[in-house]
Structure 1
Amino acid sequence: MKIRDGMWHTAEGLYVKYAEEVYETTTTTRGVRLLCPTGKIRSRGDTLNQPTVTLTIEAEADGILSVEAVHWDGAQRRGPNFELFPHGRQEAEAVITNNATSTTVASGSLAATVTTNDEDGSRIFGVRFHPSADSDSRRTLTSMSHRSVGFAISPALSNPQQVETMNDKEHYIFTQTDLGVGESIHGLGERFGAFNKVGQQVELWNADGGTSSEQAYKNIPFFMSSRGYGVFLDTPDRVELEVGSARCSRVEALVHGQRLKWYLIYGPTPRDVLRRYGQLTGQPRTLPSWSYGLWLSTSFTTNYDESTVQGFLTGMRDRGIQVDVFHFDCFWMRAFTWTDFVFDSERFPDPAGQIARLKKAGLCRKVCVWMNPYIAQNGAAFAYAAEKGYLLRRPNGDIWQWDLWQAGMGLVDFTNPEACKWYAESLNKLFDLGVDAIKTDFGERIPIRDVQWHDQSVDPSRMHNYYTFLYNRVVYEALTARYGEGQGILFARSATAGGQRFPLHWGGDCESTAVAMAESVRGGLSLGLSGFSFWSVDIGGFEGSPPPWIYKRWVAFGLLCSHSRLHGSNSYRVPWTIDNDDRSPSSATTTLARWTALKNRLLPYLLAQAKESVNDSVPVSVRATCIEFPDDPTAWTLDRQFFIGDSLLAAPVFEEDGEVEFYLPRGRWTSFFTNKVRTGPGWFRERHGFGSMPLYVRENTVLILGGASSATGRSAVYDYASDTEVVTYGVQPGTKAVVVNADGDVSGTIEVNTDGNITGTEVLTGSWKHSRDERALGDLTVADEIVDLSA
């Protein structure tokens, strides 16, 4: 919502007041509280009939300051609220200093200086956020300058007495932070539009809008700035952001209500910002090694039964493609009964036996089933949950129902502890059948009008985005209770802040086009800059049937994500249905087998990177280039390429003829496929066949790979320290690589010594070989498919 009509006028129909000066400064335990009148106080009489805004700035932890703006402090503080510092916090000591014109609050490496008086002694308003170190304190991260804090009432007031009742009015509170020259803003969840959010109006409100609109399934109230800081908006309610849009030089955050609190998080690097953001809202959990393998779905509306599933998996194995996880989508249950937790007995008469047979035959290692929190009226689950009071109700006592998605569906009320227990027990019955993972679909269509939650202290509007946190937590905790810490995994579509604690997430309903694939890359990059380490995408696109070339290019992209799933809506995604070609080197089947084998080879590297990623809350893959090269201005613009861990850079191909343009930051880069060396920074163009893409290795890298000879048809689970190849790329003495064992846990490190040799190899068991610089990688060399177009 724009509160201004251009530079000079207030938007029509609004009553808007701004903090004009700091009238009084009060020291708190951890900072300062500023009393800010919305008009200049020139005499005692000006203190009457004068609204004020209170601004509190406090130290929270090293490099983190909180800022809270309040108009009327008597408003109820209703929940739900984000769980902050869930792993515990080490509070930073607030260091407060004063002089004649300003007060500074420092929280470790970050400080805020409040200017209260001009040089002539007149009262003014201004807040500058900056590093606290003396050597860097002159550098401004961002600031709150003239008329950057205030409130708005709609419809506009003609008389202050009209606020005697607020039943016919809406009250909003807002803050604005300044944008610097050339500054870019990123993150805010999984957003499919432009990577840089400057110039955009963004609404943080979870919605089922696909990947081709301004709506998002995962709205995260956190953004990252290219100037070395991040901002977390501490509300699950709807947030309306004007990012250099209503006013080109500012980011405005506006919420309905009387207060707005946010946290400024200092870097100086993006990795530092994300690490501190993870301390604030929670770090991702690690995932089991089997989850990194290939997932295959039945697809959504396609017709399938036990024989179809058996045929899919046998066909994949016979073509040299090992499926690690088979996923049953919605129609494992009978139509009109979702979600009742019961297999369709006509199509799946013996679900436990079928799952056991699939696993025993080696056709898949694990099984996942689709789920949502909507309970259809036509099912035993609805009757039971309604009787027990587990479903959301209307204020008059009726169960809240509608016919969108499932006829007469109700919504599980996860504010009711007994409802959570029932839902978890229902999942346990599926685990008893052999189900290992749960796809938690939906969670976005949460009503806010005419509803009453079991926990009556919560605000229905705040529950809209927060619901997905409760939903995914119940499922994740049920999985970990059954299978153990680090073994639970869900496949979630919706999320909010803190949802990174319950991995993993996928990118929702995309179309089967090159444009949609690029949208998905942008969505993954933005979510990765919002504290999420693990992410996947529907390979081939969800909506429609992908042309063979789209499918094969998407296979290459999807197998380089942290997690990889073949899934569609009304058509299958097994490769032989795409082009009816099982034999040619460029067939969909051959392409899928090649990229699946490559990902399995990369697993020793990926698993080691995952251990580091969760500690820093950075993405394992689809990692924005700016995380690795924050001082390169071009890195903040790159939305068609990404890092896999900290050493591999990938650029998916979006053109049918295989041409692709990509950027290499400074340094020496080696093609993974050909060992051709390029030197950055610079832009390059290549043409690739379906078995390759620009995949470059950063200099000073020791890359541990699974052996090439047994990669085809292999599961994602094997002894990662055996049958390995260690490849060095422009290494210097002291360069290290982490080695993981068969369980995916760190078992040791290997290191380059002063002679350029590898030491610490005792942690590598079985057969392994050491490939030095410029050596090609055996059967993965496909130089005949790569053409250099840079000249």
Structure 2
Amino acid sequence: MKFTDGFWLMRDGVQASYATEVRDIRADADRFTAYAAVKRVERRGDTLNSPLLTTDCFSPAEGVIGVRTTHLAGRRSTGPDFELPGGDASVGQVRRDGEVVELTSGALSVRLDTTAPWTLSFRDADGREVTSAGRKGTAFFTTGDGAHHMAGQLALGVGEQVYGLGERFTPFIRNGQVVDMWQADGGTSSEQAYKNVPFSLHVSPAGAYGVFVKHPGRVSYEIGSESVGQMQFSVEDQSLEYYVVAGPTPKDVLRRYTALTGRPALPPAWSFGLWLTTSFTTQYDEATVTKFVDQMAERDIPLSVFHFDCFWMREYQWSDFTWDPEVFPDPVGMLARLKERGLKISVWINPYIAQKSALFDEAAELGYLVKQANGDIWQWDLWQAGMALVDFTNPDASAWFQAKLKVLLDQGVDCFKTDFGERIPTDVVWYDGSDPERMHNYYTQLYNQVVFELLQKERGLGEAVLFARSATAGGQQFPVHWGGDCWSSFGAMAESLRGGLSLSLSGFGFWSHDIGGFEGTPDPAVFKRWLAFGLLSSHSRLHGSSSYRVPWEFGDEAVDVARKFTKLKHRLMPYLYGAATEAHGAGVPLMRPMLLEFPEDPTARALDRQYMLGPDVLVAPVFSADGDVEFYLPEGTWTHLLTGEKVQGPAWRRETHGFEGLPLYVRPGAVLPLAADERRPDGDWTEGLTLLVTPDAQDVTVTVPDHDGRPAAVYRVTRQAGVTASASEGVPAPSVTEL
């Protein structure tokens, strides 16, 4: 939100109060509190009739500094609040040196000089300033409509670029943008987002740091927009809390941030295979499903998961979690028949209960639906006629919802697509008294957590996986998330990738998208190019709105492309699952913007049409029918995975590829483990393993995980007279192929 009118003036009706002068400091061993007047105090009378801002500085985790500024402290806090599973409020150390107080946590400190104009200076381990909240950096504003906003400003250094803030489809670098944290079902072609995460990653020639605003409601960002040298964030509240997260590299920032807010669970290996869905509004029954599965097998396209979208339930009754008996008269038998073919089963759900559903009356009687202030159940006709909303702040309502889903698990369902969760009303009363404005964004956290925890309980810790659309900070703990409703075009394909890379820089380890696009029917060229991109993503799903996404609908060549890249992904699984364990254990995403792996390369910081799939494979999707693609290779000798071509970087490249090719390069010095089994993603990866060795690889250790993420085998690759490889005890020796 903008408060100023240019550099000198305020907007009409806006009054500003900035922390100006420190009047007192209270310090403990691990935190300090500063009291700041909002004007110069020259005599005792100046302390009258004037606000005092209270700023607490503390450390919730190593390398993280928290700042909480409060104007009026008497406002009752009703929640919800972001949970910090990795938090520990006593890890900082305070030091006072004359009039300077400093709080240090690991490689980061915050310094306040009580004799100087108000400035919170954040510094790295070498004493260099990372950022600062200076003259206007700690403030509150009142507006003509009586609203009260707390605001913070942090200085942007020369060359500093800002990323993240959730899955955003606007330009990849946030500088110059206005961004509001507010969940919306707005597709992928606007400034709205399904996944709003108030965490930004800052990268400059000096290094990297992060900023997490710990407020689940609407956080309004002005990123070098209102004041071009500042990132401003504001909330309509009496208090503002934010955390500065130390680097020095972007990976270090993500490690610390996800350690604080929660690391992604490790998805099961089978979930990395190809998912095929019924699509949304298409006509389908068991015969249709069986025909699709048969034809995938006949065309030798391995399939891992079959997903039933909305109309597995009866019309006007979403969600009642009951199979439409006219379309699926024998759901238990049908699921058993599909599972006999080695398939996992996913079904679509959402947290809304339509009035026609029998569950509506049941939930209403039990008090499990969100209510209005007068006690009536909140309802509207958007999406489903007379639909209401399950109140997940009520533990009994959450247990009731889980019990309905457990019936489906007992029938043979393996996982759920947790759709929606964005259009949450603010004119309601929650069971636990939560603030409706704060709950609008946070609802998705409760929704996905309820479903994910049921899957962990019923299927086991390593078997839980969602296909979720909405999320906020901490939502990375419940993978996988997909990019929502995109159009079926090259432009939408590119904006989907941009959103996924943005989400990965917001702490999310796993991400997917609808291959071919959701709305409309893709041109065959779009579909074929999207197939390669989708099958070189974290998770891969064929899904559409009003038309099927089976490959043969788009020609024989589309079948060939689907077959080739599905089998390639299966062979890459020992490598991909190793990267997945890193996402789970360290918070580094599987699909990585180039800046994560090459932060020292200034060219890498702006790249949003290519990515690293894990640490060692560069993917540049083709966004054109003619196959023309432009991409960048950082320093070193890169080797094309499919052709073996060697290219020396750093260099921009322009290549032309047929539909069965794309720029797919292995990093200099890498050793890539490939499985022998191209039929499934969850086979025995050590049996018949091949190690692809790049020319620059000298002495490399490769760890191949088991399906639980623990090491299954360790290989040592050395180069002397030639390339040799040894395996850990009890593991079959690998084949070695030089790229």
TM over 0.5: yes
Paired residue for 2:113? 115
Aligned match of 2:727 in 740, 761, 767? Answer: 761
Distance 1:767 1:319, change over 3 A: farther
Q: What is aligned with 2:609?
A: 640
- Structure-2 residue corresponding to 1:462: 438
- Residue equivalent to 1:746: 711
Give the Cα separation in 2 of the matches to 1:690 and 1:154: 56
- Secondary structure of the equivalent of 2:119? strand
SS in 2 for 1:760: strand
Worse-matched range after superposition: 686-695 or 88-97: 88-97
Deviates more, 1:60-69 or 1:555-564: 60-69
Q: Which residue of 1 aligns with 2:466?
A: 490
Secondary structure in structure 2 of the residue aligned to 1:753: strand
Deviations 1:533-554 (A, max 9, x none): 1110000000000000000000
Aligned mates of 1:64, 1:680 — CA distance in 2: 36
The residue identity in structure 1 corresponding to 2:6 is: G
* 1:28-107 pair list within 5 angstroms: 28-84=28-84, 86-87=85-86, 89=88, 91-100=90-99, 102-107=100-105
The residue that corresponds to 1:722 in the other structure is 687
Corresponding residue number in structure 1 for 2:203: 226
Could you tell me which amino acid in structure 2 is paired with residue 332 of structure 1? W
Supply the AA of the counterpart residue of 1:602.
L
| TM-score normalised per structure 2 | 0.97
1:420 maps to 398
Tell me the distance in 2 between the aligned counterparts of 1:460 and 1:266.
33
**2:499 alignment counterpart:** 523
- Tell me the matched-pair count: 735
| Aligned-partner Cα distance in 1 for 2:229–2:669 | 40
From 254, 269, 280, the equivalent of 1:289 is 269
SS of aligned partner of 1:510: coil
Shift of 1:759: 3.8
State whether structure 2 residue 583 is matched by structure 1 residue 605.
no
Instruction: Kindly state the Cα deviation for residue 768 of structure 1 after the two structures are TM-superposed.
Output: 4.3
Question: Is the aligned partner of 1:365 residue 2:343?
Answer: yes
Q: Which whole-Å CA distance do the structure 2 matches of 1:381 and 1:252 have between them?
A: 45
Paired residues for 1:622-771 under 5 Å: 623-707=592-676, 711=678, 714-741=679-706, 745-753=710-718, 755=720, 757-762=723-728, 768-771=734-737
State the Cα deviation string for residues 559-585 of structure 1 (Å, max 9, x = none): 01110000000000001112xx33xxx
Which residue in 2 is equivalent to 1:252?
Answer: 232
**Which residue of structure 2 aligns with residue 541 of structure 1?**
517
Cα distance in 1 for residues equivalent to 2:738 and 2:42:
76
Gaps of 5+ in 1: 119-123, 156-167, 774-791
- 8 Å contact from structure 1 (residues 720, 742) kept in 2: no
| Residues 721 and 742 in structure 1, CA contact (< 8 A), matched pair in contact too | no
From 558, 564, 579, the counterpart of 1:588: 558
1:127-152 CA-to-partner distances (Å, cap 9, x unmatched) read 21111x3xx21x22111111221111
Query: In 1, Cα distance between the equivalents of 2:318 and 2:729?
Result: 49
Partner Cα separation in structure 2 for residue 763 and residue 201 of structure 1: 56
Give the conservation status (yes or no) of the 8 Å contact 2:713–2:731: no
Structure-2 change in CA distance of 1:334 and 1:609 (3 Å): same
The aligned counterpart of 1:121 is none
Which residue in 2 is equivalent to 1:151? 140
Q: How much has 1:60 moved relative to structure 2? A: 2.5
Larger deviation: 742-751 or 597-606? 742-751
Contact in 2 for aligned 1:89/1:279 (Cα 8 Å): no
1:781 alignment counterpart: none
| 1:375 to partner: Cα distance | 0.2
| Residue in 1 that maps onto 2:167 | 190
Kept in 2: contact 1:376–1:382 (CA 8 A): yes
Contact 1:193–1:213 (CA under 8 A) maintained in structure 2? yes
User: What does 1:5-404 correspond to in 2, within 5 Å?
Assistant: 5-84=5-84, 86-87=85-86, 89=88, 91-100=90-99, 102-118=100-116, 124-131=117-124, 133=125, 136-137=126-127, 139-155=128-144, 169-227=146-204, 228-360=208-340, 362=341, 364-404=342-382
- Does the CA contact (< 8 Å) of 1:720 and 1:744 recur in 2? no
Q: Unaligned regions of 5+ residues in structure 2, if any? A: none
**CA drift at 1:769:** 1.8
Distance, in Å, in 2 between the alignment partners of 1:249 and 1:752 is 49
Distance in 2, matches of 1:751 and 1:768, equals 10
Displacement after TM superposition at 1:745 (Å): 4.1
Rounded to whole Å, the distance in 1 between the matches of 2:266 and 2:273 is: 15
**In the aligned structure 2, how far is the partner of 1:397 from the partner of 1:77?**
22
Distance 2:520 2:399 in 1: 38
Farther-moved stretch of structure 1 (531-540 vs 667-676) = 667-676
1:555: Cα distance to partner?
0.4
Give the CA deviation at 1:379: 1.1
Corresponding residue SS for 1:420:
helix
* Structure 1 residue 13, shift from structure 2 partner: 1.8
1:103-131 per-position Cα deviation (integer Å, ceiling 9, x unaligned): 2211121011113224xxxxx11121111
Which segment drifts farther, 143-152 or 190-199? 143-152
> How many Å separate the matches in 2 of 1:668 and 1:21?
56
| Cα distance in 1, alignment partners of residues 708 and 246 from structure 2 | 36
User: Aligned partners of 1:91, 1:668: CA distance in 2, in Å?
Assistant: 47
2:540 counterpart residue number = 564
Instruction: Kindly state the Cα deviation for residue 22 of structure 1 after the two structures are TM-superposed.
Output: 1.7
Q: Is the 8 A contact 1:747 1:763 kept in 2?
A: no
1:629-666 Cα deviation digits (max 9, x unpaired): 11111111000000011001110011111011101112
Amino acid at match of 2:736: H
2: CA distance, partners of 1:628 / 1:695:
16
Establish whether residue 3 from structure 1 lines up as the match of residue 28 from structure 2. no
Give aligned-pair identity as a percent: 49
Contact 1:750 1:758 in 2 (8 A): no
Residue 62 of structure 1 contacts residue 91 of structure 1 at CA under 8 Å; is this kept in 2? no
Distance 1:763 1:331, change over 3 A: farther
Distance 1:559 1:90, change over 3 A: farther
Query: Whole-Å Cα distance in 2 between the matches of residues 706 and 171 of structure 1?
Result: 59
CA contact (8 A) 1:376 1:406 kept: yes
Residue identity in the other structure for 2:411:
L
Native 8 Å contact 1:325 1:368 kept in 2: yes
SS of alignment partner, residue 492 of structure 2: helix
Deviations 1:502-540 (A, max 9, x none): 111000000001111110111110100011111100000
Q: In structure 2, what residue type is equivalent to 1:97?
A: R
Residue identity opposite 2:109 in structure 1: A
Q: CA deviation at 1:750?
A: 0.6
Any idea what SS the aligned residue of 1:191 has?
coil
- TM-score for the superposition, normalised by structure 1: 0.91
Cα separation, partners in 2 of 1:66 and 1:432, compared to 1, 3 Å:
same
Q: Distance in 2 between matches of 1:609 and 1:173?
A: 40
Deviation at 1:680, TM superposition (A): 1.6
Separation (CA, whole Å) in 1 of partners of 2:320 and 2:140: 46
Native 8 Å contact 2:314 2:324 kept in 1: yes
- 3-state SS in 2 of match to 1:95: strand
Q: 2:530 aligns with which of 545, 549, 554?
A: 554
Tell me which residue corresponds to 1:778. Answer: none
| Structure 1 residues 372-393: Cα deviation after superposition (integer angstroms, max 9, x where no partner) | 0000000111110111011001
**Alpha-carbon separation, structure 2, partners of 1:149 and 1:382:** 47
Distance in 1 (alpha carbons) for counterparts of 2:69 and 2:136: 13
Q: Which amino acid aligns with 1:423?
A: F
- Aligned amino acid, residue 563 of structure 2: A
Letter of the 2:108 counterpart: L
CA contact (8 A) 2:197 2:473 kept: yes
